[in-house]
Amino acid sequence: MLTRDDLLAALAAIRESAPVRADEVTGSTNATAAALAEEGAPEWTLVSAGHQTDGRGRLGRTWVDEPGKALIVSTVLRPTVAPARAGILSLAAGAAMAETIREVAGRSATCKWPNDLLVRDEKVGGILLETSVEREAFRWVVLGVGVNLVAPAGVDGAGGIGEVGSRGLLIGFLQRFHDLYEGEERELPGRVRSSWLTVSSTIGRLVEAETAAGGTIVGRAFGIDDFGGLLLSTDDGERRVAFGEVAHLADADA
């Protein structure tokens, strides 16, 4: 599990200084980081845990980890980009971690839109972005990242990347994400698109997208837009999915 020294080393690697907190067990690192953000914690504040008892996923789901066998970390961000670009920040984190897993663990990790990290169709990790917005601007963003080193018992479809060093995994991730995040703001979508598309398992696939309104769209994924939305080519023309879930289909399922 990550230690306080590991978190400080990761911040040093990106030349940032911020508070850190490393817990052996916590309810949710995102919840802790959000509370710190509300208290005024600066950007790049890091919170980690060896095990979560109330880990959270997207759409109210839970995140289960094998104690001491996962990278679990949350980062406080204070972006100046518009809240509409929250999706592009999540994709940036996914691409940064997929690339890091490839380098550190030697596994061919990919990103399934919008926030899953896969190895051979097994989910090995995920990204959870939580935000506070006021007057059409971010007050804070908490970026949560979870990666299984070992697959948690009893979780269907879960996998692990192998028992690699968590410090190296965190440093590699933060360096890549920092590079995407801190560059020229107007060029952020282009930087993220270039990075994410190279590690995507969704682009080129026939998918069924479940929309926020409760409907479904079937089409072939061909890109992402400047806000992180998934672009589909369908029988009715091009469609955009801004939020929801996608299932990868075999062409015969169409």
DSSP string of 178-192? Answer: HHHHHS-GGGHHHHH
Q: Are 236 and 164 part of one and the same domain?
A: no
Task: Please give the model's pTM, rounded to 2 decimal places.
Answer: 0.93
CATH code of residue 163 = 3.30.930.10
CATH code of residue 233 = 2.30.30.100
What pLDDT tens digit does each residue of the chain (254 aa) get?
899 999 999 999 999 999 999 999 999 999 999 999 999 999 999 999 999 997 665 555 667 888 999 999 999 999 999 999 999 999 999 999 999 999 999 999 999 999 999 999 999 999 999 999 999 999 999 999 999 999 998 889 999 999 999 999 999 999 999 999 998 999 999 999 999 999 999 999 999 998 777 789 999 999 999 999 999 999 989 999 988 789 999 875 54
Q: Are 227 and 162 part of one and the same domain?
A: no
Neighbours of 182 (CB within 10 A): 11
Q: Which residue range(s) make up the domain with 234?
A: 206-253
Beta-ladder partners of 227 = none
Q: Which stretches of 120-243 are assigned E, i.e. beta strand? A: 122-134, 137-148, 206-211, 216-224, 230-234, 237-241
- Say how many residues make up the chain: 254
* Residue 171 CA: distances (Å) to CA of 91, 93, 144, 178: 18, 13, 15, 10
Indicate the number of domains in the chain: 2
* Token pair 């998934």 in the structure block, residue: 230
